Amino acid sequence: MKVATGVPTYMPGPEFFYKMGLCDLFIFQDDVQFKEEHAKAAIKTPRGRMVLKVPVRQKKAKLHEVEIAGDLWRGQHWNALSMAYRGCKYHEILSEFWNFYGPRSWDNLARLNIKIAKFTKNVLGWNLVKFARATELDSGDGTTLRQWIKDHDGILIRLRFQAQEYRQLHGKFSPNLSFMDFLFNCGGRGKYDPRTFFGGQ
């Protein structure tokens, strides 16, 4: 069993999904100490790069404990996304994302980030990947995540990643954006093999 791990950040970048697409089991490391980057995502607008940030109530906590502050940010983020990607080729994915993301209220950052990652996996059509959360695997006996993987006959995959350019709106290519930028511009639905189009080795 090939296993990959990753910290669930807000609308993560291509490297996160490159690892996910090559494993049998993906473990969300939601037991790490919260960092500001876990609540941020970058998109590309006509005016350049924009960073969206989910407001949180506490910062000195584990990621799975972090609560989201209020609901105003959802409308603000959606307005930014809809303005930035209104001319994108795969507008139906943008609409799907809003139908999934917009109507509901989110109170926990890790839960939001993991749900977005699962939404993205489904849009890509990678239906064989299974998921677990590190907090669900913690037995309380001090067993590390690495030991848990070994005890369950898992092989932790380690990969080098080099982003490749793809078609974007608004001028020359900008790296290190949310993977949503790729989906809205290039699509999903089983069109892409993670072993080839992400540029990993």
pLDDT band at 195 (very low <50, low <70, confident <90, very high): low
pLDDT above 90 (res 4): yes
169-192: average pLDDT? 88
C-alpha closest to that of 166 among 191, 145, 146, 143: 191
Residue-level pLDDT at 60:
92
Letter for the amino acid at 119?
F
- As beta bridge partners, residue 156 has 3
pLDDT tens digits along 56-70: 998 899 999 999 999
Residue-level pLDDT at 117:
95
- What is the pairing mode between strands 40-45 and 48-53? antiparallel
pTM (two decimals)? 0.91
Least confident of 54-58, 82-86, 140-144, 173-177: 140-144
Domain with 17 in it: 2-197
Count of structural domains within the chain = 1
The segment with the largest mean pLDDT, out of 41-45, 147-151, 189-193, is 41-45
Residue-level pLDDT at 159:
76
pLDDT above 90 (res 197): no
The burial of 40, by beta-carbon neighbours within 10 Å (0-12 exposed, 13-18 middle, 19 or more buried), is given as middle
